[in-house]
Structures are given as C-alpha cells and as structure tokens.
Structure 1
Amino acid sequence: MTTSNTNPHLWSLTLAALFVISILAPVGEMAARVAGY
C-alpha cells in the first residue's frame, strides 16, 4: 500500500487544524482576559 494517496489529504487536514488553532489561540486568550480569568 502506498501512502501517496493519503498524503495530500493528511496535509490539508493538518494545515487546516494549524490554521484554526492559530486563529482560535489568540481569541481564546483575549476572551479569557476579558472574562477575568
């Protein structure tokens, strides 16, 4: 079995996860500061 078929899908998933995390991390920090935590 070759992994060349699943590689692009895995890469797109990891890139999407990193993108979402990079956006949500600062927002979560700001929300926590605003809430007083």
Structure 2
Amino acid sequence: MGHAIGSSIISFVEKEARENNIPLVRLDCVKNNETQNKL
C-alpha cells in the first residue's frame, strides 16, 4: 500500500514538473534510492 502511495506522489510531482518545466534529475535519484532500499 505504501508503494502505491509513493508512486502516485511521484507521478503527481512529475506532472507538476512537466507543467512548470522543472528538470526531473533529482526525482530520478530519489526513485533510484527507493528502489535500492527495497532490494
């Protein structure tokens, strides 16, 4: 359940970033860290 919430937050942030032309490099780093922590 926590993973679904995290995914929706990430997709929301990505949508906001696209609308505001904010680069997503930092967000990609966060996603990679979360993936590594789950392993």
TM-score by length of 1: 0.52
Name the SS for the 2:21 alignment partner: helix
CA-CA distance at 1:26 after TM superposition: 1.4
Q: Any gaps of 5 or more consecutive residues in structure 2?
A: 23-39
Q: Deviations over 1:1-37 (max 9, x none)?
A: xxxxxxx1100000000000011111017xxxxxxxx
Q: Percent identity?
A: 9
Q: Any gaps of 5 or more consecutive residues in structure 1?
A: 1-7, 30-37
| Structure 1 segments of 4+ aligned residues over 3 angstroms from their partners | none
TM-score by length of 2: 0.50
Q: Aligned residue pairs: how many?
A: 22
Q: Which residue of 1 aligns with 2:9?
A: 16
| Structure whose CA Rg is larger | 1
